[in-house]
Amino acid sequence: TVFRLRERESWFDVTKKTSLDVLLTNLIKGNLLPSALLWITSRPAATNQIPAKCVHKVTEIQGFSDAKKEEYFRKRFSDQSLASRIITHVKSSRSLFIMCHIPVFCWISVTVLERLFSETDRGEIPRTLTEMYTHFLIFQSSLKNDKYMENYETKLNEYSKEFLLKLGKLAFDNLENGNLIFYEQDLTENDIDVNEASVYSGVCTEVFKEEYGLYQDKVYCFVHLSIQEYLAALYMFLSNSSADLLKTAVNQALESKNGHLDLYLRFLLGLSTDSSKTLLQRLLGPTETSSHNIKEITKYMKEKIKNNLFPERTINLFQCLNELGDNSLVEEVQRYLDSGSLSAEDLSPAQYSALAFVMLMSDEELDVFDLKKYIRSDKEHWRLLPVVKNSRTALLNSCNLTDKHCKVLTSALRSNFSPLRELDLNNNNMKDSGVKLLSAALGDSHCKLEILRSVLLGIPNCKLETLRSVLMRIPHYTEEIQSHLFNTCNGEVILFIGEFLSLSLCRLSGCRVTEEGCSSLASALRSNPTHLRELDLSYNHPGDSGVKLLSTVLEDPSCKLEKLKVDWCDLTDKCCEVLASALRSNSSPLRELDLSDNDLQDSGVKMVSVGLGDSHCTLEILRSVLLGIPHCKLGVVR
């Protein structure tokens, strides 16, 4: 149920009675039973009103994967031949198959296709989203109670049409505000009598549901937001005769910051086609509809695609063109792809956006998406950023990305169906504002990112405090920190990295780490010794004293560091005694040590040799100690 936390009185006494809404809001605030764990199940429209500071974890029922989509269809039918035909049809329309991740849409598709595939004339099988929903409402409107059939058939048809338009007005009026839940007052204002309507139309019982809220008050809702969006579009299409209706709707959808009008626009445009108008006659009976110039609105949207739009709005315009049966831009790009001679510079900005659409509509996810392959001199390659959502690994390093591009990336990170597990943002200029956007997305419950490369040291103009907020929000934490930009890792940076040494791999090669940095790393390892497996400090200046500090940590029984690289670190024999002590320790986990290209001399090698000969030494790989150490006699090496 929708409620407002700030308007409820504070309540701290668990021994006294109060209303349910006051109890619930004070449980959420933590005023009552502050140590209790409270799990609230509700619709997004309601739960989004709970302040973020009161929410510790978000769980969500996710939709169907591709395999689950097929499993759903097969379980719905005992006739597997029918199931196979329906699956084949749904897969033939990529937009329909993608929508099937929503369980309700699978149910709608089954309801429609089972009936149509069972009929002799199958010429009307829906191929677009709009056609599918129109067929669904045709079917639901025909579900009349047998006892009313004989005397009320004419009235049934009339009332179904009237009721749909009333529901459509309710849907449209509340779509802008994102309202999903309605009360009896809302229905009264729209002249809707649900009790009477339920007698006449299956639309009421299957599309518009009655539930109970606080105090057992009745509340009403559409079974899914897409039903509300379709009915809102149907109402506007039938009630608004303006010649600029479609253009106005396109502009409104493009101005939306969260895309809440995207599907509404697709339905509105889909309803304007001749095939949809024919279907509407079956749904509503003889109905006068406005005529809209499809060629004109198609041209208008193609002009919009050329503009500097937010990529997801551009992708939706391609979906809209698909509803109108125009795939010319996509076909142009597909010809380039089929010829094998695709060049980024050959494509127009609109075709570049079409390329993103083609890659997103692909049947298979991309293993690796490397944006550098598509870089253009005019920097239009950012139009391909939505493809990140369909990739397991996204290599966006050195692509001239800025903070304004982070909004697109956050969409991919928040997608609960994105396969994205690795993201490389090295050598871009995201700034604090961009990293803050990424940070919010990384904390989303849907984000499954495992490796975030160079967000720590590879993004210039970003404060450590901002970067700290990034790692604090990664649900699984990054597995790797690395930098190839030769930044100066002073004590502050190393201490910052140390906060997150639940990482398994830390590569700081060439980062000018000094004794100060090694001291901070050693301190962090003592505080959190159980995760880090590999530490690369090659090409740095830790000094003998810095390596001594790290060697001491290796003797800690809790330390799990298995691989240490300190090659090209200007080390001398002064650090070898402590290193040898670590090798002799029966608790040292070290399996691989790289000392190549240092100046340990004979005395240093002798000390290391003693450690290697100890029965407790578990070292398996000692790199370049044979030929990579200058000033060392072969007898000592032997």
Highest mean pLDDT among 105-119, 191-205, 377-391: 105-119
What pLDDT does residue 8 have? 65
pLDDT in tens, 306-350: 887 777 788 889 889 989 988 888 887 777 667 766 676 777 778
What pLDDT does residue 205 have? 59
Q: Per-residue pLDDT averaged across 55-74, rounded?
A: 81
Q: Measuring CA to CA, how many Å separate 143 from each of 115, 214, 428, 515?
A: 13, 32, 58, 79
Report the percentage of the chain scoring pLDDT > 90.
19
Residue 262 burial class via C-beta count within 10 angstroms: exposed 0-12, middle 13-18, buried 19 and up: buried
- DSSP assignments along 100-152, one per residue: TTSHHHHHHHHHHHHHHHHSS--TT---SHHHHHHHHHHHHHT---HHHHHHH
Q: Per-residue pLDDT averaged across 255-272, rounded?
A: 90
- Can you state the angle between helices 349-360 and 328-339, rounded to 10 degrees? 80
What pLDDT does residue 39 have? 84
Which residues neighbour 150 within 8 Å (Cβ) at sequence distance 6 or greater?
A: none
Burial 318-353 (b: 16+ CB within 10 A, else e): bbbbbbbebeebbeebeebeeeeeeebeebebbbbb
Highest mean pLDDT among 7-11, 367-371, 493-497: 367-371
Residue 530 burial class via C-beta count within 10 angstroms: exposed 0-12, middle 13-18, buried 19 and up: exposed
How many of the other CB atoms lie within 10 Å of CB of 219? 18
The answer, yes or no, to whether residue 178 has pLDDT greater than 80, is no
Residue 286 burial class via C-beta count within 10 angstroms: exposed 0-12, middle 13-18, buried 19 and up: exposed
What pLDDT does residue 593 have? 92
Check the CA dihedral 227-228-231-233 and report its sign: negative
Q: Per-residue pLDDT averaged across 64-78, rounded?
A: 89
- CB distance 581 to 555 below 8 Å: yes
Q: How confident is the model at residue 269 (pLDDT cuts 50, 70, 90)?
A: very high
Stated length of the chain? 638
What pLDDT does residue 83 have? 92
Q: How confident is the model at residue 632 (pLDDT cuts 50, 70, 90)?
A: low
Q: Is 563 helix (H, G, I), strand (E, B) or coil?
A: strand
Q: Per-residue pLDDT averaged across 153-164, rounded?
A: 64
Q: Per-residue pLDDT averaged across 483-501, rounded?
A: 48
- Average pLDDT over the chain, rounded to an integer: 78
Q: Is 597 helix (H, G, I), strand (E, B) or coil?
A: coil
What pLDDT does residue 475 have? 44
Residue 171 burial class via C-beta count within 10 angstroms: exposed 0-12, middle 13-18, buried 19 and up: buried
By mean pLDDT, which of 181-195, 305-319, 463-477 is the weakest? 463-477
- Can you state the angle between helices 262-271 and 225-239, rounded to 10 degrees? 50
Q: Per-residue pLDDT averaged across 136-158, rounded?
A: 60
What pLDDT does residue 353 have? 80
Of the candidates 417, 414, 360, 413, the residue with the CA atom closest to the CA atom of residue 383 = 360
Q: Is 621 helix (H, G, I), strand (E, B) or coil?
A: strand
How do the residues of the chain divide into helix, strand and coil, expressed in percent and rounded to 5? 55, 10, 40
What pLDDT does residue 471 have? 56
**What is the distance in angstroms between the CA of the first residue and the CA of the last residue of the chain?**
78
The CATH class given to the 479-638 domain equals alpha beta
> Does the pTM exceed 0.75?
no
Chain centroid offset of residue 136 CA: 30
The answer, yes or no, to whether residue 285 has pLDDT greater than 90, is no
Q: Per-residue pLDDT averaged across 443-447, rounded?
A: 71
Q: Is 518 helix (H, G, I), strand (E, B) or coil?
A: helix
pLDDT in tens, 200-257: 455 655 667 666 655 456 777 888 889 999 999 999 999 888 889 999 999 999 988 7
What pLDDT does residue 192 have? 84
By mean pLDDT, which of 130-134, 189-193, 249-253, 321-325 is the weakest? 189-193
The pair phi, psi for residue 509, each rounded to 5°, is -60, 130
Say how far apart CA 445 and CA 450 lie, in whole Å: 13
What pLDDT does residue 176 have? 78
Of the candidates 113, 285, 137, the residue with the CA atom closest to the CA atom of residue 203 = 137
Q: Per-residue pLDDT averaged across 487-493, rounded?
A: 49
pLDDT in tens, 549-601: 999 988 888 888 899 999 999 999 999 999 999 999 888 889 999 998 898 88
